[in-house]
Amino acid sequence: MNEYEVIKKFFLPLSLKKDFSLNLDDDAALLPKKKQLIVGTDSIVEGDHFEKNEKNPLLIAKKLLRVNLSDLASMSADPFGYTLNLSLPNYKNKKKLINWIKLFAKGLKQDQSKYQIKLLGGDTVLTKGPLILSLTLFGYKNKKIIKRSDAKLDDDIYVTGNIGDSGIGYKILLKKLKLNNYLNNFYINRHKLPNPPVKFGKKLFLFANSATDISDGLLADLNNIITASKCGAIIMSENIPFSKETKSLIIKKKINIDYLFTCGEDYQLIFTANKNNSTKINSLAKKNSIKITKIGNIIKKRKLVILNKNNQELSFKSLGFKHF
Amino acid sequence: MNEYEVIKKFFLPLSLKKDFSLNLDDDAALLPKKKQLIVGTDSIVEGDHFEKNEKNPLLIAKKLLRVNLSDLASMSADPFGYTLNLSLPNYKNKKKLINWIKLFAKGLKQDQSKYQIKLLGGDTVLTKGPLILSLTLFGYKNKKIIKRSDAKLDDDIYVTGNIGDSGIGYKILLKKLKLNNYLNNFYINRHKLPNPPVKFGKKLFLFANSATDISDGLLADLNNIITASKCGAIIMSENIPFSKETKSLIIKKKINIDYLFTCGEDYQLIFTANKNNSTKINSLAKKNSIKITKIGNIIKKRKLVILNKNNQELSFKSLGFKHF
């Protein structure tokens, strides 16, 4: 099977209609013209965003799509298509390679129907090193785009979902933490298969002033918002939402709260909104079966303040994952 | 220097105006709406498209841009901006890493002014393995897009520039060929710094029926055209354009003609056009200081026929580089 045959067999069935993808037959693809487009791009790396020698390429495909869907959700865009830059494992056994591609494409297909998006084009290379997979996701702009830089004084700060589960899964994969089988699987699954609130994100433009997704860590990403918006934030550590599993680990002192605030890869949304929108926000969250939690407020002083239940300020060595 | 500071210092000066790039401050960027957009994406890999431990990241940046410019040129599009997926070398010495980024950004900057394009956004990761760098290039559609699939019966087949120089450079880097210093440098430079005919490509829509860029090898890429167009081609090996340096190597039997036809990475254009356009084509090539050569014709029979000077059909073991 040569590259052409692989594309026809596994990727052409995933592609956007011919007018745009040109049957994946050309050097480039066309983009729809009817609306303003938004583009985001994220890469994932073997051994970092997904497990070294991951046995199930289906999970890699889904994670690659979802980390990018998370970016567009945070801007309240409506995703429709993507291009791929795949580095494929350079297996000498070509059957093994084809099987890898087959499962990877299956993962794409499942999430394409879940999220209503299609493939536009891409490029493949082979690598002997760790896999690095990039995806560039296109969406339509909604009435408003939600940026990091538009947080307003006194805005409420909300997060969706729970914080830290993915980071605990990562620790388990690195063998830096060992729990029982049930919990190991629970957390590893959270790390391998994020579940960004894509539908809810599309509605952000109705109520949010600013937003970003939590990829580098709750504190680092909130810090991105206040830096871009030239303001500060005060959050109550007691209000940060954790899963019941994680609450129990905290009580048993099996996990440090600092780690949960900074470990990243949650792929949940953090957004700020005017206090007057709280009823609307809660009802939209309920409608979309999304957990949302108010964790604090935007303040004038350009500082990120984290208070414990006794109103004492907590200090953090680092705000979260910085690439270098 | 953290990631935020690196982006502000090295990449923000390269970015498209704030309305689109959002100051590289957000999870995604906006794309202009005024015209139909075309998108292409290509990755380059250390040790394959560029030398292992390449000392000059400026060259890597330029090659990454140019292989993508080559794709859009072949569709007769007008490039304006790009997103980047960078894997950066995971040097323990942070000064070395910052210096790598500085030189890489310098290469981008130089080619941005040469080709009149700007940065829209991107993502960075660190890797211990071979670097894999991806770029997604956006262009405006011209009056017509030139696809691979529209070659017409009896069309003339043209190529721009010379064939095989880059492939010879690759052989020299792999130490599979050793020439004198002058020639080593000449060919390595051709491999490291392709020079796709971007301006001429923008004019293809005026005269060409089909086109692609020569990345996988002259024969493989011509084969892509005839496969997509459901036709065949006949080319005269005597007409394939070589540099005077390569002609001399062929005479001295230092290099095999099969290799030159199939080695790829020329990043020149191969296009087909109606015979009646030959005057127009030659005059546009002259105006753009582009060497063009007619190498054959499109035929009905779905086969790629290569004839030598005695009109004998040559056979090739492989048509060129297939990724797997």
B122–A contact, CB cutoff 8 A: yes
Which residue among B45, B136, B224 sits closest to A83, beta carbon to beta carbon?
A: B136
Question: Over 70: is that where the pLDDT of B112 sits?
Answer: yes
Across A296-301, average pLDDT = 98
Residue B86 has pLDDT above 80, yes or no: yes
d(C-alpha B299, C-alpha B297), whole Å: 6
Contacts of A33 in chain B (CB under 8 A): 33, 35-37
B164 vs B187: CA distance, rounded Å:
9
Rounded Cα–Cα distance for residues A229 and B158 (Å): 54
Of residues A314 and A317, the one with the higher pLDDT is: A314
Predicted local distance difference test score (pLDDT) of residue B322:
58
Question: A74 with A211: CB under 8 angstroms?
Answer: yes
CATH number listed for the domain at residues B3-140: 3.30.1330.10
Q: Does B118 touch chain A (CB under 8 A)?
A: no
> According to the model, what pLDDT value does residue B323 have?
54
Local structure of residue B84 (DSSP, 8 states): E
Predicted pLDDT at A37: 96
ipTM of predicted complex: 0.93
Percent of chain B with pLDDT over 70: 98
Work out the average pLDDT over A260-280: 97
Give 3-state DSSP helix, strand, coil % of chain A, rounded to 5. Answer: 40, 25, 35
Q: What is the pLDDT of residue B5?
A: 86
pLDDT at A207: 97
Q: Among residues A149, A178, A147, A150, which one has the least CA distance to residue A249?
A: A178
Contacts (Cβ under 8 Å, ≥6 apart) of A180: none
Residue with tokens 């939690």: A293
Residue whose tokens read 């940026």: A147
For B260-296, the pLDDT digits (tens) are 999 999 999 999 999 999 999 999 999 999 999 999 9
Residue B23 DSSP class = G
Tokens found for residue A316: 């953090």
Residue with token string 């539908």: A199
Q: List CB contacts (< 8 A) between B77 and chain A.
A: 28
A128–B129 C-beta distance less than 8 A: yes
Segment A39-81, tens digit of pLDDT: 999 999 999 899 998 999 999 999 999 999 999 999 999 999 9
Start-end of CATH 3.30.1330.10 domains in chain B: 3-140
Whether residue A202 has pLDDT greater than 60: yes
* One-letter identity of residue B57: P
Q: Please report the residues numbered 25 through 84 in chain A whose beta carbons come closer than 8 angstroms to any beta carbon of chain B.
A: 25-31, 33, 35-45, 48, 71-72, 74-75, 77, 83-84
Q: Inform me whether the pLDDT recorded for A323 exceeds 70.
A: no
Residues 86-105 (A) with a CB less than 8 A from some CB of B: 87-88, 94, 97
pLDDT of residue A205: 97
For CATH 3.90.650.10, the residue range(s) in chain B are: 148-314
> What is the distance between the alpha carbons of residues A137 and A135, in angstroms, rounded to a whole number?
6
Kindly report the pTM of this predicted structure. Answer: 0.94
Give residue B23's pLDDT.
87
* Residue B268, phi then psi, degrees to nearest 5: -105, 175
Closest alpha carbon to B136 in B117, B115, B113, B116: B117
Instruction: List the one residue out of A121, A168, A132, A150 whose CA is nearest residue A262.
Output: A168
Map residue B134 onto helix, strand or coil. strand
Rounded to whole angstroms, the Cα distance separating B139 from B30 reads 14
pLDDT band of A318, cuts 50, 70, 90: confident
Longest distance between any two alpha carbons in chain A, whole Å: 65
Q: Looking at the predicted structure, is the pLDDT value of residue B34 above 90?
A: no
pLDDT-based confidence at residue B19 (cuts at 50, 70, 90): confident
* Amino acid letter for position A162: N
**Sheet strands side by side (includes A118-127):** A118-127, A78-89, A132-140, A37-45, B29-31
The confidence score (pLDDT) of residue A34 equals: 85
Mean pLDDT score of chain A, rounded to an integer? 94
Strand partners, A137: A40, A82
Tell me the per-residue pLDDT of B158-204, one tens digit each, with 9 for 90 and over: 999 999 999 999 999 999 999 999 999 999 999 999 999 999 999 99
CB contact under 8 A, A85 and B88: no
Report the candidate in B227, B201, B204 with the shortest Cα–Cα distance to residue B216.
B227
Read off the pLDDT of each residue in A216-243 and give the average, rounded to a whole number. 96
Is 80 exceeded by the pLDDT of residue A321? Answer: no
Residue A40 C-alpha, separation from nearest chain B C-alpha, in angstroms: 4
Indicate if the pLDDT at residue B318 is higher than 80.
no
The CA distance from A88 to A78, in Å, is: 29
CATH superfamily name and code, B148-314: PurM-like C-terminal domain (3.90.650.10)
User: Are the Cβ atoms of A94 and B324 closer than 8 angstroms?
Assistant: yes
Structure tokens at B257: 């003609």
Separation in Å, CA of B110 to nearest CA in chain A: 24
What pLDDT, on a 0 to 100 scale, did the predictor assign at position A75? Answer: 96
CB A35 to CB B35 under 8 A?
Answer: no
Residues linked to residue A31 through DSSP beta bridges, in sequence order: B37
